[in-house]
Structure 1
Amino acid sequence: MKLNKKLIASGVLAASLFAGNAFAAVSAEEAAKLGNSLTPMGAEKAGNGNEIPAWDGGLTTIPAGYKGDGIYVNPFKDEQPLFVIDQSNVDQYADKLSPGQVAMINKYSDYKMPVYKTHRTSTYPQEIMNETMQNATKVELVAGGNGLQNYQNATPFPIPQNGLEAIWNHITRYRGGSVSRNVGQVTPTADGSYSVVKFQDELTWRAFLTDYDPNEDANVLFYFKQAITAPSRLAGNVLLVHETINQVQEPRRAWVYNAGQRRVRRAPQVAYDGPGTAADGMRTSDNFDMYNGAPDRYNWELLGKKEMYIPYNSYKRTDRDLTYDQIVKAGHINQDYTRYELHRVWHVRATLKPDARHIYAQRDFYIDEDSWQASVIDHYDGRGELWRVAEAHNMFFYDQQVPWYALETLNDLLSGRYLALGLTNEEPEPYSFGVERSSRDYTPAALRRAGTR
Structure 2
Amino acid sequence: MLKKHTLMGAAIALALSAGSVMAAVSSQEAAKLGASLTPFGAEKAGNADGSIPAWTGGITRAPAGYQGNSSHHVDPFPQDKPLFTITKANLEQYKDKLSAGQIALFNAYPDTFNMPIYPTRRSGSAPQWVYDNSIKNASTAKLLDGGNGFADAYGGIPFPIPQSGVEALWNHIVRYRGSHIVRRSAEVAVQRNGAFSPVVTEQEALFRYYDPKGSFADLNNILFYYLSFTKSPARLAGSAALVHETLDQVKEQRQAWGYSAGQRRVRRAPNLAYDTPISASEGLRTADDTDMFNGAPDRYDWKLLGKKELYIPYNNYKISSPQVKYKDVLQVGHINPQLTRNELHRVWVVEGTLKPGARHIYSKRTLYLDEDSWQAAVVDQYDGRNELWRVSVAYLKNYYDLPTTWSAMEVFHDLQGRRYHVQNLDSEEPTTVDFSQPIPADSAFTPAALRRRGTR
TM-score by length of 2: 0.92
Is 1:198 equivalent to 2:195 in the alignment? no
Structure 1 distance, partners of 2:149, 2:208, is 16
Aligned to 1:37: 36
Query: Which residue identity lines up with residue 92 of structure 1 in the other structure?
Result: Q
Equivalent pairs: percent with the same residue?
51
| Contact preservation (8 Å) 2:308, 2:347 | yes
Match of 2:450?
Answer: 447
For the structure 1 residues 214 and 365, does the alpha-carbon distance in structure 2 shift closer, same or farther, using more than 3 Å as the test?
closer
1:95, 1:174 → 2: CA distance?
30
Tell me the residue number matched to 1:227. Answer: 229
Q: Residue 365 of structure 2 corresponds to which residue in structure 1? A: 363
Alignment of 1:38-437 (within 5 A): 38-49=37-48, 50-70=50-70, 71-108=72-109, 109-206=111-208, 218-436=220-438, 437=440
Instruction: Name which of structure 1's ranges 249-258 and 378-387 shifts more when overlaid on structure 2.
Output: 249-258
C-alpha displacement at 1:214, in angstroms?
7.7
Structure 1 residues 18 and 363: CA distance shift in structure 2, 3 A: farther
* Alignment check: 8 A CA contact 1:255 1:265 kept: yes
Q: Decide whether the 8 Å contact of 1:139 with 1:157 is kept in 2.
A: yes
1:133 alignment partner, SS class: helix
Distance 1:302 1:213, change over 3 A: closer
Please state how far the C-alpha of 1:234 moved relative to its aligned partner.
1.4
Gaps of 5+ in 2: 1-11
Contact 1:77 1:316 in 2 (8 A): no
Name the SS for the 1:410 alignment partner: strand
Secondary structure of 1:431's counterpart equals coil
C-alpha displacement of 1:308: 0.3
Q: Equivalent residue of 2:94, what SS?
A: helix
SS in 2 for 1:295: coil
Residue deviations 1:36-78, cap 9 Å, x none? 1100110000000321000001111210000104310001122
**Which secondary structure does the structure 2 equivalent of 1:376 belong to?**
strand
Distance 1:157 1:102 in 2: 31
In terms of mean alpha carbon deviation, does 210-219 or 399-408 score higher? Answer: 210-219
| Distance of aligned partners of 1:231 and 1:432 in 2 relative to their CA distance in 1, 3 Å threshold | same
**Residue of structure 1 in register with 2:9 after alignment:** none
- Residue 6 of structure 1 corresponds to none
SS at match of 1:432: coil
Shift of 1:270: 1.5
How far off its partner does 1:186 sit?
0.9
State the Cα deviation string for residues 259-282 of structure 1 (Å, max 9, x = none): 233222222332111122511111
* Alignment partners' CA distance in 1, 2:270 and 2:155: 26
Relative distance call for 1:34 and 1:443 in structure 2 (3 A) is same
CA offset digits 1:311-360 (Å, max 9, x no partner)? 00001111111111111111111111000000000000011111211111
Q: CA RMSD in A?
A: 2.0
Q: In 2, distance between residues paired with 1:132 and 1:28? A: 13
Mapped partners of 1:43, 1:438: distance in 2: 34
For the residue of structure 1 that corresponds to 2:450, the secondary structure is helix
Per-residue deviation at 1:207? 6.0
1:176, 1:434 within 8 Å by CA — same for their partners in 2? no
Aligned-partner SS, 1:322 = coil
User: Do the aligned residues in 2 keep the contact of 1:226 with 1:240 (CA within 8 Å)?
Assistant: yes
CA distance in 2 between partners of 1:331 and 1:80 (Å) = 25
Structure 1 counterpart of 2:33, one-letter code: L
Pairwise CA distance, 1:208: 6.5
Q: Which range is displaced more, 430-439 or 195-204?
A: 430-439
Q: d(CA) in 2 for partners of 1:355 and 1:19?
A: 26
In structure 2, do the counterparts of structure 1 residues 155 and 260 end up closer, same or farther at CA, with 3 Å as the change threshold? same
Give unpaired runs (5+ residues) of structure 1.
1-16
Q: Secondary structure at the match of 1:408?
A: strand
Report deviation, 1:251.
2.2
Cα distance change, pair 177–335 in 1 and its aligned pair in 2 (3 A): same
d(CA) in 1 for partners of 2:322, 2:174: 30
Aligned length: 438
